[in-house]
Structure 1
């Protein structure tokens, strides 16, 4: 399954893997709305039990505009990962340009109370070159998100 993930970062035994895909059926290209879905797997290869407390994202669009997003946990959860365990989640990112990027870090707390900042690898958000024509075709079929 690791081969499905295109981007990986490892920080002190915490492995963060990312797979990202453009979703033309969720995009409204003619209205300047582009949408990507990303799947993240967090693997605890350390010797410590850790809990994910917060997420910190730097999202950059194709014009260089940066949006910083911070919040508790991921998709409403603050998972506890024992050594050897993994946590997967899926989320999405809308942009008003056909390309951009995401990167960031998670804040974890170890069982002993110390903090760990684990890197989320940089990954590009890029619509395929033919996305505009595919988006128009999807819109013409009357598809709904």
Structure 2
């Protein structure tokens, strides 16, 4: 896939130590209930290993900011029940979701990885907006 096609599919990206995190986000009207103060988004994450060593995703840390500037932090092991091993040149994709009590917000964070030599390091998850259509 070309760089421009990736930029369209995954408009948010950050690269740390040869690991690129790409994000696409979608508002899910069918899972939202604005009349009840609930808005819901799905986000698609792709981790690409551009380095020369395999890496394993150990944990995640999310900083979720709602439209009232209230910060919610989420920490946990792995992602969607997995702790994937990503070989050099390979990628790992997953989809998850985020509900908010406001029609706008944002998410950003980091993944904790460990390389095949046992060195642990954090990679940035780029900030991306959560915006419901007007």
- Aligned counterpart, 1:133: none
Aligned to 1:44: 49
Larger radius of gyration: 1
> Is 1:114 aligned to residue 119 of structure 2?
yes
Question: Structure 1 regions of 5+ residues with no counterpart?
Answer: 130-145
Q: CA deviation at 1:73?
A: 0.4
5+ unaligned residues in a row in structure 2: which ranges? none
- 1:16 aligns with one of 16, 21, 32: 21
- Structure-2 separation of matches of 1:72 and 1:31: 31
Q: CA deviation at 1:100?
A: 0.2
How far is 1:48 from its partner? Answer: 1.1
Q: Which has the higher strand share?
A: 2
Number of equivalent positions: 129
| Counterpart position of 2:10 | 5
Which TM-score applies when normalising by structure 1? 0.88
RMSD: 0.7
Secondary structure class of the residue paired with 1:25: helix
Give the ranges of 4+ consecutive aligned residues of structure 1 lying more than 4 Å apart after TM superposition. Answer: none
| CA drift at 1:42 | 0.4
